[in-house]
Structure 1
Amino acid sequence: MQTSTIASLKLPSRIQISESRNEKLSGLLKTIKKDIRDFSLNVFFYLTLIIEKIHKNKNLTFTNYFNKNFDKNIT
Structure 2
Amino acid sequence: MFEEKREWSEETKNLTHAFVEARREAMMKNIDGRFGLMGYLAERIVIVEHGREEPIYYASVEKLLEDGWVVD
Same fold (TM over 0.5): no
Larger radius of gyration between Structure 1 and Structure 2: 1
Larger RCO (alpha carbons 8 Å, 6+ apart): 2
TM-score, structure 2 normalization: 0.29
TM-score, structure 1 normalization: 0.28
Q: Which has the higher strand share?
A: 2
